A and B are shown apart, each in its own frame.
Chain A
């Protein structure tokens, strides 16, 4: 059925006329297109892979057409309209919405050069999930996002060993876990005997109204306590927190989930902590960094109390330690019996990290500005072979004003089950479908895109856009301005052209060529339809290519008198529109597939002075959800077009000579039927 719908869409698209660039027409075209989809959206919604078949399908098979919807929309209609809506100067930046996608725009324009993140769709599943049951290996594993590296707390990751699963506290699937598969909390009948049968389905408990668990004994014990400290919350007093922290004790055992990270400082063992907010948004508290617990904390702090200063001091004095098998029996605790590692400190700027050099990179302040201040600190711990093998601190430095009394700092803690840096690990953007907020996978290779993606030598795996650095457009391979799935974004920056020769001939063409280079429009870019491109053949990748043949030719004119350069049809706005559809499979939610990717460029006639050839370039990334119908439409009633003869229900001719007899006959029949009906019912 889904293929029929898509064929229908394709047919509709092919019959469309050539692109009409008027806004209203394009809106109409998009609406028509989406109406056609929404009127029959069931191919996208009601995908009938039952829980039973799900258990049988292998992950590789799920890429096939039979399991993942092969939704393909190959024209520009929708994207053009979105593009036009975005670039309609009369359209408010705040109220840009199509019938398919809700868009919220907030902009903080600065000197006409801005980088705006329009809106971020809800990211429910990109964070590392907490405890999950160990799934059967033939199910798609949503949390397995690191290629050939064990993802922490991912109990279905085949890269993890049983030891890892023990650390994650994975559990075998129990009856209680079946809710996610067939909507049943548990089944009353024996699963082995009746499993999968209709009887099993009927005897499933779909809902429980059990009361929440209460520890009554504990409550009565608390009530018997007399001191407030022993029972906070029982007495009507302000809670004091000086006894809040647990007293951790180094047990000389291997790390297990929830243990604090230990550091050795001057022969004494401490636990590592990081700033946290207690009651408000200020960093007034510190909490321990616990093993395998990913953290993200943002809180306000004074310049002098920034975490970067604390961690730089700690890294000089202390080492991260791990207990080994020898530690348990030893009485002395030093680096001979413990596994000690020094900190690796990296200084990151604009997405590029390098080793921290105290003499060169030390934070310093003048009267106005402070340089090399890290408002974002990342702790990365690499756990391998039962030990923490590497502890890295990434200081994301920037320059800030000295006048700021308080600033918001962000501290993140990551754990990796690898002995190599995460920079050398291939990260997937979903498994199988895309997850919101993760990079859109792109390949710049000519062919064998999947192989290139999984090739370690390949550097660029996402759709990188020019970056706005101090208002100017900069093209780098290490840019952190890349397309993230589900995140609509506008980047504005000023493009400056520096002519290599002074000749004015073909200057406009040279500018255009330079813009092509900046925007990577000369590259053959292919987009992976899924967040995990494994087993995807080249023909399934989506080609992102600008149709240069449809663009107006660039030409220019230099006026010697006014010293002005007039360029016609220069590209100054580029839109990349991704159309995607949700391909959720029962319990596997937030699975998205990109079905179409399209460039759209608009050109403008620009005038430059001979000394300053610069203009503002706008790059938009838009995601349009095709699986959402534009509006709710209810199915109409069935229409049966049958032409019955006039006397079908009363087959007695009007001109009959005995109409009275016929009438009497019908009446008698009715009375007889009613008589027998009454006789039967009333005995």
Chain B
């Protein structure tokens, strides 16, 4: 019994992931630049800067994987990669929340771009779930 699937790609989800990939690039560059600026201007407690750099690297890595899986799953109408993308949204959102609330020095600019990132996460999560539901509904069996 072979499985036949329709094309169920979500346009909105794809647009969001596409924009998010560019936004992630900007977020990465700006956050690194801001980190350097902060490291020069203000003094960090012991190991705080290294910890934050580590968390940020992990966040970026998770984000790249999440967006890649999301796009791949969406375009191929496969629910498994999208499911993993949804799962990765959780650590990614936690990482952004860390920079929004718990990092040592929080700038007003960071409030803005972390909030935008969280907005992307929320919207993508919603559309990803919709996508999974759609794929599950439209599965056809021979």
Residues 17-47 of B, flagged 1 when their CB comes within 8 A of A and 0 if not, give 0100000000000000000011001100100
The answer on a CB contact under 8 Å between A209 and B103 is: yes
Residue from the list A184, A188, A207 in contact with B42, Cβ < 8 A:
A188
Residues of A within 8 A of B130 (CB): none
> Which chain B residue has the least Cβ–Cβ distance from A190?
B41
Main secondary structure of the interface of A (DSSP, over half): mixed
Q: Which residue of B lies closest to A202 (CB)?
A: B109
Cross-chain contact B37 with A209 (CB below 8 angstroms): no
A550 nearest CB across to chain B (Å)? 57
| A203–B107 CB distance below 8 A | yes
Are A678 and B107 interface neighbours, CB within 8 A? no
How far, in whole Å, are A150 and B88 apart by their CA atoms in the complex? 63
CA distance A207 to B106 in the complex (A): 5
Q: Flag if B11 contacts A205 (CB, 8 Å).
A: no
Q: Does B15 contact A (CB under 8 A)?
A: yes
- The residue from B18, B42, B112 contacting A186, defined by CB atoms under 8 A apart: B42
B57 part of interface (Cβ distance < 8 Å): no
- A206–B103 CA distance with the chains assembled, in angstroms: 12
Do B102 and A202 have beta carbons less than 8 Å apart?
no
Contact present for A678 and B106 (CB under 8 Å): no
**Which residue, B41, B45, B75, has most C-beta atoms of chain A within 10 A?**
B41
Residue B139 at the A interface, CB < 8 A?
no
CB <8 Å contact, B106 and A206: yes
Chain B contacts of A203 at CB under 8 A?
Answer: 37, 107-109
CA distance A203 to B40 in the complex (A): 14
> CB-nearest residue of chain A relative to B38?
A188
List, in ascending order, chain B residues with CB within 8 A of A677's CB: 11
Q: B82: shortest Cβ distance to chain A, in Å?
A: 17
Is A653 close to B, CB under 8 A?
A: no
Q: Pick the contact of B106 from A201, A202, A205 — CB < 8 Å?
A: A205
Q: Which B residues are CB-close (under 8 A) to A209?
A: 102-106
Residue from B11, B18, B42, B107 within 8 A of A202 (CB atoms): B107
B109-A208 in contact (CB<8A): no
Contacts of B104 in A (CB 8 A): 208-210
B14 within 8 A of A: yes
- Docked-complex contact A204 and B108, CB < 8 angstroms: yes
Q: Determine if B68 is an interface residue (Cβ-Cβ < 8 Å).
A: no
- What are the interface flags for B89-120 relative to A under an 8 Å C-beta threshold, 1 for contact and 0 otherwise? 00000000000001111111101100000000
Query: A635 contacts the other chain (Cβ, under 8 Å)?
Result: no
Residue of B9, B103, B105 most packed against chain A (CB within 10 A): B105
A201 and B42 alpha carbons, distance in the complex (Å): 17
> A661 at interface (Cβ–Cβ under 8 A)?
no
> Min CB distance, B132 to chain A, in Å?
20
Cβ of A158 to closest chain B Cβ, rounded Å: 34
Closest chain-B Cβ to A456's Cβ sits at a distance in Å of 51
Q: Point out the residues of chain A lying under 8 angstroms from B38, CB to CB.
A: 188
Counting chain A CB atoms within 10 Å of each CB, the highest count among B11, B42, B108, B109 belongs to B108
Q: How far is the CB of A402 from chain B (nearest CB, A)?
A: 63
With the chains together, A207 CA to B111 CA distance in Å?
10
Range, interface on chain B: 20 to 34
Q: Tell me the chain A residues, 192-250 only, with Cβ under 8 Å from chain B.
A: 201-211
CB-defined contacts of A201 to chain B, threshold 8 Å: 108
Q: Which of A557-599 contact B (CB under 8 A)?
A: none
Q: Is A654 an interface residue (CB 8 A)?
A: no
Instruction: Let me know if B105 and A208 touch, CB within 8 A.
Output: yes
The 8 Å CB contact of A205, one of B9, B18, B45, B107, is B107
Asked whether A206 lies within 8 Å of B14 as measured between CB atoms, the reply is no
A681 in contact (CB, < 8 A): yes
Contact call A681/B45, Cβ cutoff below 8 A: no
- The verdict on A206 contacting B111 (CB below 8 Å), with A186-B42, A211-B45 known, is yes
**B18 contact set on A, CB distance < 8 A:** 681
Output the nearest chain A residue to B44 by Cβ-Cβ distance: A210
B45 in contact with A210 (CB, 8 Å): yes
**CA A207 – CA B101 in complex, angstroms?**
8
Quick check: is A268 within 8 A (CB to CB) of the other chain? no
Kindly report which residue of chain A lies nearest to residue B43, judged by CB atoms: A210
Q: Does A644 contact B (CB under 8 A)?
A: no
Residues of A within 8 A of B11 (CB): 677-678, 681
The interface residues of chain A lying within 8 Å CB-to-CB of B108 are 184, 201-204, 206
Q: Are B37 and A188 in contact (CB under 8 A)?
A: yes
* A665-683 vs B, Cβ < 8 Å mask (1 yes, 0 no): 0000000000001100110
- Enumerate chain B residues within 8 angstroms of A211, measured Cβ to Cβ: 45
Residues of A close to B112: CB separation below 8 A: 202
For A186, the chain B residues whose CB sits under 8 A away are 42
Contact pattern, B 57-83, Cβ under 8 Å of A = 1, otherwise 0: 000000000000000000100000000
Considering the chains assembled together, what is the distance between the CA atoms of A211 and B104 in angstroms?
9
In the assembly, what is the distance between CA of A207 and CA of B108, in Å? 9
A205 and B109 contact, CB distance less than 8 A: no
Residue of B at shortest CB range from A674?
B11
Q: How far is the CA of A372 from the CA of B17 in the complex (A)?
A: 84
Knowing A186-B42, A682-B75, say if A205 contacts B14 (CB, 8 Å). no
B127 to chain A, nearest CB (A): 14
Q: What's the nearest-Cβ distance from chain B to residue A176, in Å?
A: 11
Chain A, Cβ-Cβ closest to B109? A202
Shortest Cβ distance from B37 into A: residue = A188
Contact B15 A205, beta carbon cutoff 8 Å = no
Which chain B residue shows the least CB distance to A213?
A: B45
The answer to whether B41 and A188 have CB atoms under 8 Å apart is yes
Distance of A677 Cα from B14 Cα, bound (Å): 12
The CA-CA distance from A188 to B41 in the complex, in Å, is 6
User: Who on chain B is nearest to A678 by CB?
Assistant: B11
Whole-angstrom CA separation of A201 from B106 in the bound complex:
13
The 4 A-B residue pairs with the shortest CB-CB distance in the complex, in nearest-first order: A202-B109, A207-B106, A205-B105, A188-B41
State the A residues within 8 Å of B (CB).
184, 186, 188, 201-211, 677-678, 681-682
14 residue pairs of the A-B complex, CB under 8 angstroms, read: A186-B42, A201-B108, A202-B107, A203-B37, A203-B107, A204-B108, A205-B42, A206-B108, A207-B106, A209-B104, A210-B104, A211-B45, A677-B11, A681-B11
- Further pairs besides A209-B103, A682-B9: 11, Cβ < 8 Å: A184-B108, A188-B41, A206-B106, A206-B107, A206-B108, A206-B111, A208-B105, A681-B14, A681-B18, A682-B14, A682-B75
